Structure 1
Amino acid sequence: MLHAVQPGDGGVARVVTDLVRAQLAAGLRVAVACPPDTELAAAVRAEGADTYAWRAGRDPGPGTVRETRELGRLIRTARPALVHAHSAKAGLCARLALRGRVPTVYQPHAWSFEAIEGTTAALARRWERWAARWTARIVCVSEAERRTGETAGVVAPWSVIHNGVDAERFAPAEDEAPDGPAGPLVVCVGRLCRQKGQDVLLAAWPAVLAAVPDARLVLVGDGPDGERLRAAAGPSVRFVGAVTDTAPWYREADLVVLPSRWEGMALAPLEAMASGRPVVVGDVDGARESLPPGHEELCLVPPGDPAALAAALGRLLGEPGLRRSLGREAREHVLSRFDVRRTGAAVAELYRELAGVRCTEHREPIAQ
């Protein structure tokens, strides 16, 4: 098995790391081609996977030809039975390099044409329609992401496999205290970029403070918009940069927010809910599928709407009892539907179907 991955950080890196861990435990030989010196490269190497340094940037450009040739060389070296390409850049290079000669799974992790406009978006949609002929299966992380692809004219065999999280790693603290005197804490975990909508959150924050004057906001992550966002933030907003472990920040939070403009199914809200925290999220692909039934009215906001975001945050910050109730329901929902083991098993079954890849049978221990 070879995973071709770009980017090597953020939610994609966490998804791939979880898959690699499960596949190694199931007896597969797993290799990962990704940018060196990244979060992903270090994580999968620590898990015991073969790693190949694929020096690829995030965006297409003049270097794409070189990147495609380099990935083709790495694939010939690894000689995999199946290639799983993650996100648009890897999907572009892997399918150009292979052209269907090896079964190729493509997982967009949100469609690239949603991030751009005009002629560039039209070209991206045209490419996705064309490249489907070299794709044994497109894996979407939500039914909404699949529908977005179909609406764009992508005709291919589809599988919908929801993202999953390690519910034990993100478990709430056993001795959680009630709200303290410092004021409620809102946490946003995500790359500092237009997709994740932190600019919308900062535009909404003055209205949140008008309703809840002692509220505090922490932004966890780094990215290309970091400098601009820091310049726009007030004294009640703290930037902590990228962290190796987000779980402590979810446990510190009273409320988690991710006002994305587009997604496939964002991982951070699932991690927050596994931690027993209510979330407020942009109503984009995967958001409705990830929330517990009945949470939509309180927890979904139109993307790019600071007023609606401020209203949702203000209401939940003003009702601690409601927040705790929503958090308990969120935790149970993740345990029942979004456990990472369920995701790994579904992907393993897909590999068996496409390439006859056999895994050692894995059974959960029987409760005594």
Structure 2
Amino acid sequence: MDKSIKVAMFAQNYIPNLGGAERQMAALAPLLTARGVEVSIVTRKSTKGVPGTEVVDGIDVYRSHNPDIRALASLLFTLQSIYRTWRIKPDIVHAHELLSPTTAALLAKKLYGIPVVAKILRGGYLGDIDKIRNGKMAVKRTRWIAENMDRFLAISPEIENELEHYLRVPAARIVSIPNGVDLQRYHPVDVSKKVKLRQAKQLPEGPLALFAGRLSEEKNLPLLISTWPQVRQHVPDAKLVIIGEGNERDKLKALAGEGVFIKGVEQDLSEIYCAAEVFVLPSKTEGMSNSLLEAMASGCACVATRVGAAEQLIEHRENGLLCAVDNAEELGELIVEAFANTKSGTSTYGTFARETVEKYYSLETVADRLVDVYRDVLAKT
């Protein structure tokens, strides 16, 4: 790259809050830096006690105060974003999500003439576009976003379709860029290594299925737990480990029966994926799940509902299994099939899943495509 590019990323949350979107940003930032992109991140104080300004892994991070009153929190985030744009003087602003980050980014564009790209984090029910279409001033807001955004970054065909259908965005301003996964960090291991990891991570013995992510309503975890008696009829020693935090934790602990374990957040999930044979994503709605990508890269036999980018990632009975949403019986049957597909710690589905992410979803490929988008936008403004 002849000239470095300064990019200010606007996001609702960032480190130490590590949801899927935050993990993706944190993983991509150093790769963008290595490609001549100077990244700064403007976000909120989503965790008490974090500093307003700090350097995280070589990236400048600026956090606004985040009071409990949502409207005030959004206002402070917007003001902080506009102020930091003036101070940073980026070449481009990259908004992560179509809500407050995009509002702040487009206001900064209006004030300073800086081009803006926006990544849509999730499609469908409770997705970015669903929320703005059903929020206040929906018609004016969607029109304003559609008319003023330089590029929309879509992680799935579902999101591309929503942009074209609901926001009437021309296809020329929509760029398909999936999430990526670190193939060095997430990788399969042999049986002996699995056994050692189980012991080191204090995971139960026997056939092991895993869920990792937010313990929230849209993940549909009560449905997953309800399948476990059915699964254990066919795989008697099967264990289900659910890892994460969220507002449904107490409810899930109350529902957990024999063979089901609810654990807290793990800072490094790479060894957890390696220790499991099966990964299950029973969500009602998703974007492109980082957890699913990581599990596929780790060689797990993956079972996912047909939402978001799951149908893009998984070809049914080739590199994983796909299930209808809210169908407990089918989900249970497919989990049993996933266990049956695993012999001596290795799954045929998992082997082909690893090949899929190696071919299409490496972080390096995503970083290269992002840089291309930045350069293309700057060349046309």
With structure 1 as the length reference, what TM-score do the two structures score?
Answer: 0.86
The answer for the alignment partner of 2:159 in structure 1 is 145
Letter in 1 for 2:216: C
Give aligned pairs, total. 354
Q: Distance in 1 between matches of 2:317 and 2:231?
A: 23
CA-CA distance at 1:18 after TM superposition: 2.1
> 2:227 aligns to what SS in structure 1?
helix
User: Does structure 1 residue 349 correspond to structure 2 residue 349?
Assistant: no
User: Does structure 1 residue 90 correspond to structure 2 residue 106?
Assistant: no
> 1:292-345 CA distances to partner (integer Å, 9 max, x unpaired)?
57537x611112222221111122223433961111111111111111100000
Please tell me whether the aligned partners of residues 124 and 308 of structure 2 are also in contact (alpha carbons under 8 angstroms): no
Gaps of 5+ in 2: 1-6, 199-203
Alignment of 1:50-65 (within 5 A): 50-56=60-66, 61-65=71-75
CA-CA distance at 1:173 after TM superposition: 2.2
User: Does structure 1 residue 106 correspond to structure 2 residue 106?
Assistant: no
Please tell me whether the aligned partners of residues 215 and 244 of structure 2 are also in contact (alpha carbons under 8 angstroms): yes
Please tell me whether the aligned partners of residues 111 and 149 of structure 1 are also in contact (alpha carbons under 8 angstroms): no
Q: Distance in 2 between matches of 1:106 and 1:158?
A: 10
CA-CA distance at 1:264 after TM superposition: 2.1
Please tell me whether the aligned partners of residues 7 and 58 of structure 1 are also in contact (alpha carbons under 8 angstroms): no
> 1:106 aligns to what SS in structure 2?
strand
CA-CA distance at 1:77 after TM superposition: 1.6
Please tell me whether the aligned partners of residues 167 and 335 of structure 1 are also in contact (alpha carbons under 8 angstroms): yes
Query: Cα distance 1:310–1:96, how it changes in 2: closer, same or farther (>3 A)?
Result: farther
The answer for the alignment partner of 2:323 in structure 1 is 301
Q: Distance in 2 between matches of 1:23 and 1:291?
A: 28
Letter in 2 for 1:106: A
Question: Which residue of the other structure, out of 244, 250, 253, is the alignment partner of 2:267?
Answer: 244
Please tell me whether the aligned partners of residues 69 and 97 of structure 1 are also in contact (alpha carbons under 8 angstroms): no
> 2:37 aligns to what SS in structure 1?
coil
The answer for the alignment partner of 2:285 in structure 1 is 262
Alignment of 1:6-21 (within 5 A): 6-8=12-14, 9-21=18-30
Q: Distance in 1 between matches of 2:263 and 2:168?
A: 39
Letter in 1 for 2:62: Y
Please tell me whether the aligned partners of residues 260 and 282 of structure 1 are also in contact (alpha carbons under 8 angstroms): yes
CA-CA distance at 1:152 after TM superposition: 2.5
Letter in 2 for 1:155: V
Question: Which residue of the other structure, out of 287, 295, 308, is the alignment partner of 1:285?
Answer: 308
> 1:96-154 CA distances to partner (integer Å, 9 max, x unpaired)?
44348311111111048635999985237643343122211110112222113323234
Query: Cα distance 1:224–1:128, how it changes in 2: closer, same or farther (>3 A)?
Result: farther
> 1:214-238 CA distances to partner (integer Å, 9 max, x unpaired)?
1111111111222222222124221
Q: Distance in 2 between matches of 1:316 and 1:68?
A: 46
With structure 2 as the length reference, what TM-score do the two structures score?
Answer: 0.83
CA-CA distance at 1:26 after TM superposition: 1.6
| Farther-moved stretch of structure 1 (51-60 vs 254-263) | 51-60
Q: Distance in 2 between matches of 1:269 and 1:82?
A: 30
Letter in 2 for 1:315: E
Query: Cα distance 1:93–1:57, how it changes in 2: closer, same or farther (>3 A)?
Result: farther
Q: Distance in 2 between matches of 1:150 and 1:61?
A: 29
> 1:145-197 CA distances to partner (integer Å, 9 max, x unpaired)?
21133232342510001111111110122564688993210000111112222
| Farther-moved stretch of structure 1 (61-70 vs 4-13) | 61-70
Q: Distance in 2 between matches of 1:291 and 1:59?
A: 40
- Identity of matched residues, %: 26
User: Does structure 1 residue 222 correspond to structure 2 residue 236?
Assistant: no
Q: Of Structure 1 and Structure 2, which has the larger fraction of its residues in strand?
A: 2
Question: Which residue of the other structure, out of 89, 103, 106, is the alignment partner of 1:79?
Answer: 89
